[in-house]
Amino acid sequence: MIARDAVREFQLTRVPQDFLDDPYPWYAALREHDPVHALEGGGRCPRASPSATGESVSGAFANCRCVSGRKIGHG
């Protein structure tokens, strides 16, 4: 089981090795301890849910506004 303190410190910019090896225990810990997890820079980590598909989660991460709430200019 992943400690609550480790969940609070979780950031997508510096994930632990065990997340890369198997992210599902981290997803479960995030759902349990911090379902709307704040990210550095003001974004939010979408809560993984049993109904989320890989395509929908990938789409959320591909859309900067969905994840960070900030609009990023291009060019």
| Domain hosting residue 28, numbered range | 4-68
pLDDT in tens, the chain (75 residues): 899 999 989 988 889 999 999 999 999 999 898 888 888 777 666 554 444 445 555 555 555 544 445 555 554
* Token representation of residue 31: 């759902």
Strands 44-45 and 37-38: antiparallel
Would 50 be classed as within a structural domain?
A: yes
Global pTM value: 0.55
Q: What is the DSSP letter of 40?
A: T
Would 73 be classed as within a structural domain?
A: no
Would 39 be classed as within a structural domain?
A: yes
Would 23 be classed as within a structural domain?
A: yes
Total structural domains in the chain?
Answer: 1
Would 64 be classed as within a structural domain?
A: yes
